[in-house]
Amino acid sequence: MSSKQLVTNVSSLKGTIQVPGDKSISHRAVMFGSIAKGKTTVTGFLPGEDCLSTINCFRKMGVRITQTGEYVEIESDGINGLKEPKDILDVGNSGTTTRLMLGILATRPFHSVLIGDESIAKRPMGRVTNPLRQMGAVIDGRENGMYTPLSIRGGDTVGIQYHSPVASAQVKSAILLAGLGSKGVTTVTEPALSRDHTERMLEAFGAAVIRDGLSVSIEGGQTLTATEIKVPGDISSAAFFLAAGAIVPNSRIILKNVGMNPTRTGIVTVLQKMGAELEITNERIVNGEPVADLTISTSNLTATEISGDIIPALIDEIPIIALLATQADGQTVIRNAEELKVKETNRIDTVVTELKKMGAMIEATDDGMIIHGKSPLHGAEVNSYGDHRIGMMLAIAALLSKSDTILQDADAIAVSYPNFFDHLTELVKED
């Protein structure tokens, strides 16, 4: 894929696709497999750049990992088998790798250095380095450990009771992983429920976690046992084709094997509220995670309001929801989404600037955006700014535009959806 991609108008999208594995679950499968004794196997793994960064980091700590496409085998001697890395740990573009791995490293009696790309260097790390320091980890780094590059020397950590100021699964997971290797009990309380894949997967690896409303506790000293993980399709990737199916004329797209964890299905709730023709079939549980097939058809959409506790359940889907709103009748308002400012880009700014170039009527607010629909879009030269989700959203917007679109920095899409353009081509061909 070239970093400059031409995307043209399509008359319809039709067909069936299997979206790639869930990114959050793929990262956790590699990390938990790396600290569990024995051989963990992972099927349905997402071979996107972020998850490959996680594999490379754990290989540098001596874990034996083989990966062929969507199949991964991890052989580990358990958490005490992790070795001091001789080289820096490169987290690439991945916030999940950085923050969750810091939680694991916080209890390891050795020194590591974490470094990532330009985008990672802007993302706030104090939200994990501060509580991990409170537990006893020695952390230094740029601006006193607030940003990468970071160095960490773990050791004799003790459990804490932590009230997180943000509803962040990365913060919650980092502290729980540190809690697993610390003395006593660790409890994390969050202001709203964030994705709970860590809690579910720790149980799959044999650890007990106690949940009580917005609090989760873990007792230190538990050991993880290797297991088999089947990763469901990523609803955050499915979201792009759900939106495309709803707004491109004459379309019907079936998405198979999509993860439907209720802490992630905000996009489904929003589509339903907007009046989308969405069918959910074949609902089942795989490996403790709900999964279903989704069918979306071209829909007449109406505007909606999105705010409050649903935000963490659709945080990564807000760029594509903004595009949906440009094609809905009325004014859509998104509030309480200030976390968008600290993702791969400031997603309030990048969504608003780039969609405006295509003719959308959209304005940024302090904690979200206001979108006036329904407005026709036209082709433009737009930029992902290295943000995979912005890139995919703009590619879907281009399908609706009568004139051609040039998407700069399209390569970024490989971070979470390496075969995105192949899937798009398949859906156009099946017309």
Ligand X SMILES: O=C(O)C1=C[C@@H](OP(=O)(O)O)[C@@H](O)[C@H](O)C1
Which of the residues 316 through 335 are near ligand PEP (CB under 6 A)? 316
**Residue owning tokens 């859906």:** 427
329 is catalytic: no
> Least CB distance from residue 97 to ligand PEP, whole Å?
7
Q: Which is nearer to ligand X, 167 or 360 (CB)?
A: 167
Question: Which residue among 40, 54, 56, 94 contacts ligand PEP (CB under 6 A)?
Answer: 94
Q: How far is CA 263 from each of CA 134, 197, 198, 199, 216, rounded to the nearest angstrom?
A: 28, 9, 12, 12, 15
Q: Which is nearer to ligand PEP, 47 or 159 (CB)?
A: 47
Select from 419, 424, 429, 423 the least CA-distant residue to 405.
424
Select from 157, 115, 153 the least CA-distant residue to 136.
157
Q: Which residues are known binding-site members for phosphoenolpyruvate?
A: 23, 95, 123, 170, 347, 389
> Least CB distance from residue 117 to ligand X, whole Å?
16
Q: Which is nearer to ligand X, 168 or 419 (CB)?
A: 168
By CB under 6 A, residue 316 contacts ligand X:
yes
By CB under 6 A, residue 26 contacts ligand X:
no
195's contact among ligand PEP, ligand X, none, with CB below 5 to 8 A by partner kind, is ligand X
Question: Which residue among 37, 195, 230, 264 contacts ligand X (CB under 6 A)?
Answer: 195
By CB under 6 A, residue 348 contacts ligand X:
no
By CB under 6 A, residue 96 contacts ligand PEP:
yes
Stretch touching ligand PEP by CB under 6 A, among 88-96, 147-155, 176-184, 187-195: 88-96
d(CA 369, CA 333): 6
Determine which one of 196, 234, 316, 387 is catalytic.
Answer: 316
389's contact among ligand X, ligand PEP, none, with CB below 5 to 8 A by partner kind, is ligand PEP
Question: Which residue among 37, 172, 389, 423 contacts ligand PEP (CB under 6 A)?
Answer: 389
State the binding string over 404-423 for ligand PEP (x if CB under 6 A, else -).
------------x-------
Q: Which residues are known binding-site members for 3-phosphoshikimate?
A: 23-24, 28, 168, 170, 316, 343
d(CA 344, CA 158): 32
In the numeric block, which tokens belong to residue 219?
């007792």
Which of left, alpha, beta for 250 (phi over 0: left; psi -120 to 50: alpha)?
left
Q: Judging by beta carbons within 10 Å of its beta carbon (0-12, 13-18, 19+), is residue 429 exposed, middle or buried?
A: exposed
Cβ–Cβ < 8 Å for 338, 124: no
By CB under 6 A, residue 315 contacts ligand X:
yes
d(CA 309, CA 420): 30
> Least CB distance from residue 95 to ligand PEP, whole Å?
3
State the binding string over 95-114 for ligand X (x if CB under 6 A, else -).
xx------------------
230's contact among ligand X, ligand PEP, none, with CB below 5 to 8 A by partner kind, is none
> Least CB distance from residue 94 to ligand PEP, whole Å?
5
> Least CB distance from residue 148 to ligand PEP, whole Å?
12
By CB under 6 A, residue 350 contacts ligand PEP:
no
By CB under 6 A, residue 289 contacts ligand X:
no
State the binding string over 158-197 for ligand PEP (x if CB under 6 A, else -).
----------------------------------------
Instruction: Return the sign of the alpha-carbon dihedral for residues 127, 190, 23, 387.
Output: negative
Question: Which residue among 76, 107, 170, 326 contacts ligand X (CB under 6 A)?
Answer: 170
d(CA 5, CA 418): 14
Residues that bind ligand X (CB under 6 A): 24, 95-96, 168-170, 173, 194-195, 315-316, 339
Residues that bind ligand PEP (CB under 6 A): 23, 50, 94-96, 316, 343-344, 389, 416
Active site residues: 316
